[in-house]
A and B are shown apart, each in its own frame.
Chain A
Amino acid sequence: MPHATRIAFVGTPNCGKTTIFNTLTGLRQKVGNFPGVTVAPAVGRVTGTNTEAIDLPGIYSFAPKSPDEQLTVGVLSGMEQTIPRPDGIAFIIDGTNIEKGLFLFSYFAELGLPSIVVVTMIDEIKACGSTLDDIELEHILGVPVIPVVGNKGSGIEDVRLKLTDIKEFAVPNKLAEPEADIPARYTSVRNIAANVVASPVRDRRTEFLDKIFLHPIAGPTVFLAVMALFFQSIFTWATPLMDGIDSMFSLAQDGINTVVPDGIARSFLAKGIVAGVGSVLVFLPQILILNVFIVILEDCGYLARAAFLVDRAMGLFGLQGRSFIPLLGSFACAIPGIMSARIIPSEKDRMITMLIAPLMTCSARLPVYALLISAFIAPIYIGGFFSLQAMVLAGLYIAATLVGLLIALLLKKTMFRGAQTPFLIEFPPYRKPSLKNIAVSAWGRSREFLINAGTIILTLSVILWVLAEFPRANIPAEMQPLQAAQTQLEYSFAGRIGHTLQPAFAPIGFDWKMTVGVIGSFAAREVFVAVMGQLYAADVSENDVTLREALGANISLASALAVLAFYVFALQCISTIAVLRRETNSWKWPAFAFVYTFVLAYSASFAAYHITLFLGG
Chain B
Amino acid sequence: MNINELAVGKNALIERYRSNTVFSERLMELGLTPGTRITLVRRAPFSGPIEIAYGHLRLALRPAEGDGIYILPV
A308 touches B51 (CB 8 A): yes
Q: 4 extra interchain contacts, Cβ-Cβ under 8 A, other than A187-B33, A345-B26, A424-B23?
A: A65-B25, A96-B56, A186-B33, A426-B30
A420 touches B58 (CB 8 A): no
B31 touches A103 (CB 8 A): yes
CA of A308 to CA of B45, assembled, Å: 11
Please, which residues of chain A bring their CB within 8 A of the CB of B46? 312
CA of A429 to CA of B55, assembled, Å: 13
Please, which residues of chain A bring their CB within 8 A of the CB of B42? 210, 214
Decide if A97 is an interface residue (CB 8 Å cutoff): yes
CA of A186 to CA of B31, assembled, Å: 7
A203 touches B56 (CB 8 A): yes
CA of A182 to CA of B60, assembled, Å: 21
Decide if A60 is an interface residue (CB 8 Å cutoff): yes
A200 touches B56 (CB 8 A): yes
Decide if A321 is an interface residue (CB 8 Å cutoff): yes
* A residues 291-313 in Cβ contact with B at 8 Å: 307-309, 311-312
Chain A residue at minimal CB-CB distance from B68: A422
Interface size class of B (residues with CB under 8 A): 20 to 34
Which of A97, A309, A422 contacts B23, CB < 8 Å? A422
Decide if B22 is an interface residue (CB 8 Å cutoff): yes
B29 touches A182 (CB 8 A): yes
Beyond A99-B31, A182-B29, is A311–B62 a contact (Cβ under 8 Å)? yes
Please, which residues of chain A bring their CB within 8 A of the CB of B49? 308, 311-312, 321, 423, 425
Decide if A61 is an interface residue (CB 8 Å cutoff): yes
Decide if B61 is an interface residue (CB 8 Å cutoff): yes
Decide if A505 is an interface residue (CB 8 Å cutoff): no
Beyond A308-B49, A312-B44, A312-B47, is A423–B29 a contact (Cβ under 8 Å)? no
Decide if A378 is an interface residue (CB 8 Å cutoff): no
B23 touches A99 (CB 8 A): no
Contact flags B15-55 to A (C-beta < 8 A → 1, else 0): 00000001101111111011100000110111111010001
Give A residues with C-beta under 8 Å from B. 60-61, 63, 65, 96-97, 99-100, 103, 128, 182-183, 186-187, 200, 203, 206, 210, 214, 216, 307-309, 311-312, 315, 320-321, 345, 420, 422-427, 429
Please, which residues of chain A bring their CB within 8 A of the CB of B45? 216, 312
Chain B residue at minimal CB-CB distance from A320: B62
CA of A65 to CA of B41, assembled, Å: 27
CA of A103 to CA of B64, assembled, Å: 27
Beyond A203-B56, A312-B46, is A103–B29 a contact (Cβ under 8 Å)? yes
Please, which residues of chain B bring their CB within 8 A of the CB of A186? 28, 31, 33
Decide if B1 is an interface residue (CB 8 Å cutoff): no
Decide if B7 is an interface residue (CB 8 Å cutoff): no
CA of A422 to CA of B17, assembled, Å: 14
B60 touches A308 (CB 8 A): yes
CA of A216 to CA of B25, assembled, Å: 31
CA of A307 to CA of B44, assembled, Å: 11
A182 touches B28 (CB 8 A): yes
Residue from B22, B23, B55, B59 with most neighbouring chain A CB atoms (10 Å): B55
Please give the distance in Å from A156's CB to the nearest CB on chain B: 24
CA of A309 to CA of B42, assembled, Å: 12
